Amino acid sequence: GTMTVGETAKLLHKDASEVIKKLLFLGTMATINQELDLDAIQLISSEFGVEVEVKIKVEEDNFETIEEVDDEADLLERPPVVTIMGHVDHGKTTLLDAIRSTNVTEGEAGGITQHIGAYQVEVNQKKITFLDTPGHEAFTTMRARGAQVTDITIIVVAADDGIMPQTVEAINHAKAANVPIIVAVNKIDKEGANPDQIKQAMTAYELVPEEWGGDTIFCEISAKQRIGLENLLEMILLVAEVQEYKANPNKRARGTVIEAELDKGRGPVARILIQHGTLKVGDSFVAGVNFGRVRAMVNDKGKRLKEAGPSTPVEITGLTEVPQAGDPFLAYEDERKARDIAERRATALRQSEMTANSRVTLDDLFKHIKDGEIKDLNVIIKGDVQGSVEALKSSLEKIEVEGVRVKTLHIGVGAITESDIILASASNAIIIGFNVRPEPAAKTTADQEKVDIRLHNIIYNVIEEIEQAMKGMLDPVF
Ligand code: GDP
């Protein structure tokens, strides 16, 4: 009953590098050809939120094969999960509030809305789930923890202000996560608003409106005056239709913790986005390294639920402790099994905290390349002026060593921020600072997350360092 890392990755529909990363996180250094035993395969799968079943085929020499339970025929349409990102003050919160309040259907009106980290609205008999913590930090922090909860990103840009640094960050965070983008050009009610200028400027980031031959949907809206919101919601449904988001509702639930806290009266509460299966009151579960049993479940309208299916956000009680945002959530039929998995996770986590470095650094880059774990060297470039950042980007992207290339995830002018570190950590990137330094908080996070930051003030030196690292010729720094 063993499989290689590569085979396991294939089964889970993941990149081998992602599986290797997870293994590193669990405290095991592995190459693509390494054999994993059944226990390891099950643990890795559960880390990805996938339940595996072991089937013993008696007629074929007792060979154990591992199959993911979902059959194409069992998959049903599920609502898309949407995150709103963009620069500060461009209207993210106003938009989230406007969508939520315009869409209170009859019957629900008068219900007490609950803040549970996400909410659902209904448009043309179809549901859409919105995560209601705007901003790319939350989005990318979750991703850094291995959780992919967002299907579609709305990038809000104020028409009277234009593309700002956090707009660019948001675009790059969404692109790094491979999530489709809809651009909402906001504040069109304001004097001086110029939506066409925004569209023009967005083309520099490969976001080209459909009417200009591109494939990005742009919606002109006013979140405050509630103009264009219906159209925006319809466009979300259009993207969802094209992408065909599906899940199997008829199995045990799995999902992701989006928020959690200790409530004075109710004890630990967790707000969870169900992503697969159906969660029922009374189910045993694992949330990160904690386990429990669903005591009560409410939705965003404060309504008590007996069960909740894919893409539904719920708040649950019945935990032993408070989990963390981004923790995987899995329901189990058997309370003992839930407890066992939670304990194994806790042990693995303790071990990984003791072992060093799961991130790519320039010093061990060559080894990762040789082992076939890395195809691109992901970099984030921050600099003091736009010109040198652009120059660095184009020079670095020309480097190619044995088929490995530099892929720039994000460039920007200014100090290295915590958000840069989180993006690097989520995307296994290194950060290059040109004539800039990390902010103090960023430095702390980089140390924790073991993100490699390289500071330089001569372009040639950056290029030489990267080239040498790719060739395995970098002198170790002690
Ligand atoms: P956030 O920081 O992106 O969440 O932005 P907010 O939603 O807090 O909005 C910032 C400011 O812009 C607030 O004063 C809003 O009232 C205002 N605002 C948001 N949307 C619009 C709009 O469509 N038109 C106008 N005129 N003002 C808006």
164 C-beta closer than 6 A to ligand 1: no
For residue 64, what pLDDT band results from cuts at 50, 70 and 90? very low
CA of 235 to the centre of ligand 1 (A): 21
pLDDT of residue 354: 45
The answer to whether the CB of 154 falls within 8 A of the CB of 228 is: no
What residue's CA is closest to ligand 1, atom 17? 91
167 C-beta closer than 6 A to ligand 1: no
For ligand 1, what atom is nearest to the CA of residue 87? 3
Distance in angstroms (rounded) separating the CA atoms of residues 305 and 316: 10
Q: Is the pLDDT of residue 355 over 80?
A: no
Task: Kindly state the helix (H) or strand (E) to which residue 450 belongs, with its residue range.
Answer: none
Positions of E strands within 70-203: 76-77, 81-86, 118-123, 126-131, 152-158, 181-186
What residue's CA is closest to ligand 1, atom 22? 187
What residue's CA is closest to ligand 1, atom 11? 89
Average pLDDT over residues 3-16: 84
How much helix, strand and coil, in percent to the nearest 5, is found in the chain?
35, 30, 35
Pocket test for ligand 1, best of 88, 94, 154, 164 (most atoms within 8 A of CB): 94
195 C-beta closer than 6 A to ligand 1: no
Of the ranges 5-9, 115-119, 237-241, 280-284, which one carries the lowest mean pLDDT score?
5-9
Residue 200: count of CB within 10 angstroms of its CB: 13
Q: How many residues does the chain have?
A: 478
133 C-beta closer than 6 A to ligand 1: no
Q: Is the pLDDT of residue 368 over 80?
A: no
Binding residue ranges for GTP:
86-93, 132-136, 186-189
275 φ/ψ angles, rounded to the nearest 5 degrees: -110, -30
Distance in angstroms (rounded) separating the CA atoms of residues 187 and 381: 31
Distance in angstroms (rounded) separating the CA atoms of residues 196 and 45: 46
Nearest to 157 by CA among 196, 127, 185, 136: 185
Record the pTM: 0.73
254 φ/ψ angles, rounded to the nearest 5 degrees: -140, 155
Distance in angstroms (rounded) separating the CA atoms of residues 473 and 131: 45
pLDDT of residue 404: 84
Binding residue ranges:
86-93, 132-136, 186-189
What residue's CA is closest to ligand 1, atom 6? 91
For residue 52, what pLDDT band results from cuts at 50, 70 and 90? low
Distance in angstroms (rounded) separating the CA atoms of residues 433 and 455: 5
Does residue 19 sit in helix, strand or coil? helix
CA of 173 to the centre of ligand 1 (A): 22
Q: Is the pLDDT of residue 72 over 50?
A: yes
Q: Is the pLDDT of residue 128 over 50?
A: yes
pLDDT of residue 432: 96
Structure tokens at 154: 């709305």
- For residue 430, what are the CA distances in angstroms to 93, 421, 427, 452? 32, 9, 9, 5
Q: Is the pLDDT of residue 162 over 70?
A: yes
Q: Per-residue pLDDT tens for 376-420?
A: 889 999 999 888 899 999 999 999 887 788 999 899 889 999 888
For residue 350, what pLDDT band results from cuts at 50, 70 and 90? low
Show the CA angle centred on residue 86, arms to residues 378 and 413, nearest 5°.
Answer: 50
Average pLDDT over residues 338-351: 77
- Whose structure tokens read 């996070």? 445
pLDDT of residue 108: 53
pLDDT of residue 141: 77
226 C-beta closer than 6 A to ligand 1: no
Q: Per-residue pLDDT tens for 262-288?
A: 998 889 999 999 999 999 999 999 998
Q: What average pLDDT does the chain have?
A: 85
